Amino acid sequence: MGFGSIFIETVFGFFALFILAKVLGKTQIKQLTAFDFISALILGELVGNALYDKEVGIPKIAFAVLLWGALIYITELVTQKVKRSRYIIEGRPSMVIRKGKLQREEMKKARLDMNQLLHLLRAKDTFSVQEVDYAVLETDGSVSVLKKSSYQTPKKEDIKLPDTEVIMPYMLINDGEIIYDNLEEIGYGEEWLKEELRKQGVHVVKEVFYAEYKKNSGLFIQEQQK
């Protein structure tokens, strides 16, 4: 194959997959079900193999991508309309810890061993099975944890503290570049930002590695390492 053919088919495949991903909707990688993961692999294989096959041109690549995309789309519609089909295609959550007791049968069905379970629990800031009242293995492979009451973090309502305003911090500078959208979000302009930097002895934006603004706390900056 010539470099020109590879270039054209690669670019076409890239945009075809990009458009298809937009049409089918957003799904974070860690939220992928087994079916979603397999679908993504096969879709990539269809385009990848077609690129280096001399007998396959753009029309055939487009047909394969559209056909597979249509099948995925139809499957998504079916799972939304017919709830029972969702369990067949995507699986269902498994309760691997119930009332503090490990459920060995559920773990066997999910092919989950203790090392894997402990790893998933640590990802939820839980370092001992003894802290857990209920744990559910979700269809995307993550674990949802409900700790025993003695290990739960107390809420303000539990200790009768008044509610306070939740304040969102905004990144204003990232590696020497001003984030204008966030600057506009807080209602200030570039001149205000530069003035705040000067107050902290910084005169050039490029010298700032990271800057964050939080109401009532002001501007926090970290300069570039020299």
- 15-33 pLDDT, tens per residue? 666 666 666 554 444 445 5
If one looks up domain 94-151 in CATH, what number appears? Answer: 3.30.240.20
Which residues does 30 contact at the CB level (< 8 Å), separation at least 6?
Answer: 140, 142
Instruction: Give me the pLDDT at residue 16, please.
Output: 67
Q: Name the DSSP class of 55.
A: T
CA–CA separation, 52 and 43 (whole Å): 15
**Bridging pattern class, strands 208-214 and 218-223:** antiparallel
Q: What are phi and psi of 95, to 5 degrees?
A: -85, 105
Residue where the block lists tokens 């640590």: 122
CA–CA separation, 187 and 157 (whole Å): 33
For 41-51, write each residue's pLDDT tens digit. 666 666 666 66
Q: What are phi and psi of 10, to 5 degrees?
A: -65, -45
Mark residue 185 as left, alpha or beta (left: phi above 0; alpha: psi -120 to 50; beta: remaining).
alpha
Q: Any idea where the domains of the chain sit in the sequence?
A: 3-88, 94-151, 170-223
Q: What is the CA radius of gyration of the chain?
A: 26
Class of 170-223 in CATH: alpha beta
pLDDT digit of tens for each residue in the chain (226 aa)?
A: 556 665 666 676 666 666 666 665 544 444 455 566 666 666 666 666 666 666 666 677 677 777 777 777 777 777 677 766 666 666 678 889 988 898 888 888 888 888 888 999 999 888 888 889 999 988 777 899 999 888 887 777 777 778 777 788 899 998 889 999 999 999 999 999 999 999 999 999 999 999 999 988 889 998 887 6
Residues 182/170, Cβ–Cβ less than 8 Å = yes
Amino acid at position 158, single letter? D
Which residues does 103 contact at the CB level (< 8 Å), separation at least 6?
Answer: 94, 95, 96, 97
- pTM equals 0.53
Indicate if 170-223 has the same CATH topology as 94-151: yes
Instruction: Give me the pLDDT at residue 195, please.
Output: 94
